[in-house]
Amino acid sequence: MEPGNLTGASEFILLGFSEEPELQPLIFGLFLSMYLVTVLGNLLIILAVSSDSHLHTPMYFFLSNLSLVDICVTSTTVPKMLWNIHTQSKAITYEGCIIQIYFFSLFAMLDDLLLTVMAYDRFVAICHPLHYTVIMNPRLCGLLVLVSWITSALHSLLESLLLLRLTFCTDLEIPHFFCELNLMAQLACSDNFLNNMVMYFITVLLGGGPLTGIIYSYSKIVSSIRAIPSAQGKYKAFSNCASHLSVVSLFYGTSLGVYLSSAAAHSSHSSAAASVLYSVVTPMLNPFIYTLRNKDIKGALKRFFGMAAIIKQLC
């Protein structure tokens, strides 16, 4: 679609959370803090996994990929919002909006698929421990991540191409702090029936499919844990998947909450505030969930900072 389809306009207006000028510094400081914590926390996990040979296992390989995706998903939306607040502008170009939608859809879907892959990893580790190293070999792990990337990229490309066929007229205000696919499609003055049908189909297929896989994996995990005779063995098996289960619950709980609030809320700002949970808060909390009760990650971080201190002294 050419910019001329916008009847002379080539940009959208992101309304954000509030139009009150006195609240803008507070919003800026809050989101800047959350963004820095998200980047730092997930970057530390990536550094810990890559620098410690003890963590070169399938579980931590998937975790480092999840941390990278969490950095990317917040970097797609938050910096632009911070820049708009800083410059006191709410504008985003048409091209910028399409690019933001593509990458946000890419990384959000990738988050979902990686959590499913991690559930399968925990399923093999607990239900088939003797065959774990054979099944979860490096080739399969790399293939699972590659398929997740390709699937997410194709999904985002399809959604973006369908969005390009729409025309936009005079209503160019998006009641959100970033370009959200569904909201942007609703602004079109051309027929968006095909976009809605494809969107609903993909949501059921690529949203319900991974969730079904996760539920199936954990149903088998629970059955295996119940069959363990000792209480200590049950606790050890459960602790191996407790962090992942917490992240899954947080991801799907906040995502479901956003869609329910969008359907029930009368205020568009309420929907935008609810979306902060899965687009900003969840990526920020994931590093804390995986480090607070994980002795391996804690030990790797201590060794990493200890080595960094030694190198600093030598220099």
> What is the pTM for the complete model shown?
0.88
Encoded amino acid at 39, one letter: V
pLDDT of residue 7: 39
By the 8 A CB rule, do 179 and 80 touch? no
User: Could you tell me how far CA 163 lies from the centroid of its own chain?
Assistant: 22
For residue 204, give the DSSP letter: I
Beta strand 91-93 with 173-174: parallel, antiparallel or unpaired? unpaired
Beta strand 91-93 with 11-14: parallel, antiparallel or unpaired? antiparallel
**Would you call 136 helix, strand, or coil by DSSP?**
coil
- Residue 125: pLDDT band with limits 50, 70, 90: very high
Count: domains in the chain: 1
By the 8 A CB rule, do 67 and 45 touch? yes
From CA 294, how far away is CA 240, in angstroms rounded?
Answer: 9
Cβ-in-10-Å burial (0-12, 13-18, 19+) of 128 comes to middle
Query: Using one digit for the tens of pLDDT, what is the confidence trace for 138-190?
Result: 999 999 999 999 999 999 999 999 888 888 877 688 888 898 888 888 888 87
Query: Using one digit for the tens of pLDDT, what is the confidence trace for 4-45?
Result: 444 334 788 888 877 777 888 999 999 999 999 999 999 999
Residue 148 lies in domain: 3-314
Query: Using one digit for the tens of pLDDT, what is the confidence trace for 228-249?
Result: 888 888 888 888 788 888 888 8
Cβ-in-10-Å burial (0-12, 13-18, 19+) of 268 comes to middle
From CA 78, how far away is CA 279, in angstroms rounded?
Answer: 9
CATH number for position 21: 1.20.1070.10
